[in-house]
Amino acid sequence: MDSNFQRRYEQLESSMKQLFLKAQRTVHKLFSLSKRCHKQPLIRMPRQRSSNYWLNRIQSFLYCNENGLLGSFSEETHTCTCPNDQVACHGFLPCTVGDGPACLSCALDNRTRCGSCNAGYMLSQGLCKPEVADSTEHYIGFETDLQDLEMKYLLQKTDRRIEVHAIFISNDMRLNSWFDPSWRKRMLLTLKSNKYKSSLVHMILGLSLQICLTKNSTLEPVLAVYINPFGGSHSESWFMPVNENNFPDWERTKLDLPLQCYNWTLTLGNKWKTFFETVHIYLRSRIKSNSPNGNESIYYEPLEFIDPSRNLGYMKINNIQVFGYSMHFDPEAIRDLILQLDYPYTQGSQDSALLQLLEIRDRVNKLSPPGQRRLDLFSCLLRHRLKLSTSEVVRIQSALQAFNAKLPNTVDYDTTKLCS
């Protein structure tokens, strides 16, 4: 592919033909003259040079022949040795083609740089580097400085230093007000990040409610929790499987108050932490009654238990707290990565952007709730925090799957769709 090399080779081929014809004429002349000799002449032919000698000679002409000086090229060190130390004789050396970090091929527009790389390596500014994504902390944070024991202690103490301040919304009830719990009550805690905290994403570590009942009430609260990771409608939330498949259960602590007040605490910790934007809580009530044999408790739904003499009582919620922490999030930097899928800045920057997005996708989806299949939280992030259209999200996901299939020793995984 090197036009300069082709031209020099044609010149060499032409001069070799002329030299061969001249040698033939000389040999014929020698033999014709030797017929008249009394003694046969001793003819010594020069020893044939090795292919390595000629390869080195050609490489020296090509790469070490600048400023009127002819140096010697070394294949091992990929450098030139010049006859004069004061004057450089080396020109532009081509890229190294080989296995591993060497180039698979040189670039057509610049032979000194790599044009493609071997499997497991990515092209970055003309060089082949291992396909290991750089840190994603510039785009989105995942970790906190808190150690597990320290976090557990703060959660047990319901320490306000790890409280995430959220907005309480409910059309069915108000905090610190008594209400009739016979019917289901819906409430939510939301952060409105796109409006107030666009540079942050949030991790939930625990949830705490203080629930009070009137004296001698036979009601038993039943809580159902749904988590919305990055915004959107309620249908884009997932149900928290409390006390299922080793998932944590509510812990109740009796408070020293005249009323029947309990702290209901759900501790997720590092093991079950996940992204959240809105926490939806549904409160239903059951009636606790003794079984006929008196050894166990039976729970009835209030509407199923019709007994005017039974004191159902009233209920109130004094406060609700969400515990967790907020992390750095740069939507513009991620949009810039996505832009490079179509308009790469430099040769190889597209692969680098795909690798970064793949790392972000996997780390986000890894914080999916327990289940047979992970939830596709990454699509929710693109859809609601980057405000991308559904078609853009599908295109990005397809590009990541195609790129991931080319990587060595990688296994893709199926996800369950959560966000539309």
R_g of the chain computed on alpha carbons? 38
Residue 324: phi and psi, rounded to 5, are 170, -150
For residue 66, pLDDT beyond 60: yes
- Is 113:106 a contact under the CB 8 Å cutoff? yes
**Per-residue exposure over 316-332, b if at least 16 CB sit within 10 Å of its own CB, e if not:** bbbebbbbbbbbebebe
- Is 412:404 a contact under the CB 8 Å cutoff? yes
- Residue ranges of E strands in 82-197: 103-106, 114-117, 121-124, 127-130, 163-164, 167-169, 185-190
How far is 385 from 274, CA to CA, in rounded Å?
A: 16
Q: What is the pLDDT of residue 383?
A: 93
Q: What is the pLDDT of residue 310?
A: 56
CA 54 to chain centre: 50
How far is 146 from 20, CA to CA, in rounded Å?
A: 82
Q: Which one has a higher pLDDT value, 349 or 192?
A: 192
Q: Determine if the pTM surpasses 0.85.
A: no
Q: Provide, rounded to the nearest whole percent, the portion of the chain with pLDDT above 90.
A: 32
Single-letter amino acid, residue 23: A
Q: Give the pLDDT band of residue 301 (cuts 50, 70, 90).
A: low
Q: What is the pLDDT of residue 160?
A: 82
Give tens-digit pLDDT for 128-167. Answer: 877 766 667 778 887 776 777 777 788 777 788 888 989 9
- The first and second tokens of residue 133, run together, are 């994504």
Q: What is the pLDDT of residue 391?
A: 93
- Is 273:324 a contact under the CB 8 Å cutoff? yes
Domain boundaries, the chain: 148-288+311-328, 331-416
Residue carrying structure tokens 């259960």:
249
How far is 206 from 192, CA to CA, in rounded Å?
A: 19
Q: What is the pLDDT of residue 132?
A: 65
Q: What is the pLDDT of residue 347?
A: 58
How far is 167 from 265, CA to CA, in rounded Å?
A: 19
- The first and second tokens of residue 81, run together, are 């040795």
The H-or-E segment that residue 205 falls in is strand 200-213
Q: What is the pLDDT of residue 407?
A: 76
Q: Which one has a higher pLDDT value, 35 or 394?
A: 394
How far is 235 from 256, CA to CA, in rounded Å?
A: 39
- Residue ranges of E strands in 137-199: 163-164, 167-169, 185-190
Alpha helices per DSSP H over 178-233: 193-196
For residue 298, pLDDT beyond 60: no
Q: What is the pLDDT of residue 420?
A: 73
- Residue ranges of E strands in 214-306: 219-228, 238-239, 251-254, 260-267, 274-275, 278-290, 297-300
User: Who's near 222: CB < 8 A, 6+ residues apart?
Assistant: 283, 284, 285, 286
Q: What is the pLDDT of residue 133?
A: 60
The three-state secondary structure class of 195 is: helix
Nearest to 248 by CA among 208, 281, 283, 285: 208
Q: What is the pLDDT of residue 316?
A: 92
Q: What is the pLDDT of residue 392?
A: 94
Q: What is the pLDDT of residue 386?
A: 92
Q: What is the average pLDDT across 31-38?
A: 81
Residue carrying structure tokens 């050894």:
295
How far is 55 from 22, CA to CA, in rounded Å?
A: 24
- In this predicted structure, which of 185-189, 196-200, 332-336 has the lowest mean pLDDT? 196-200
Nearest to 117 by CA among 348, 369, 303: 348
**Per-residue exposure over 117-147, b if at least 16 CB sit within 10 Å of its own CB, e if not:** bbeebbbbebebbebebeebeebbbbebebe
How far is 283 from 103, CA to CA, in rounded Å?
A: 63
CATH of domain 148-288+311-328: 2.60.120
- In this predicted structure, which of 40-54, 176-190, 253-267, 285-299 has the lowest mean pLDDT? 285-299
- In this predicted structure, which of 51-60, 84-93, 318-327 has the lowest mean pLDDT? 84-93
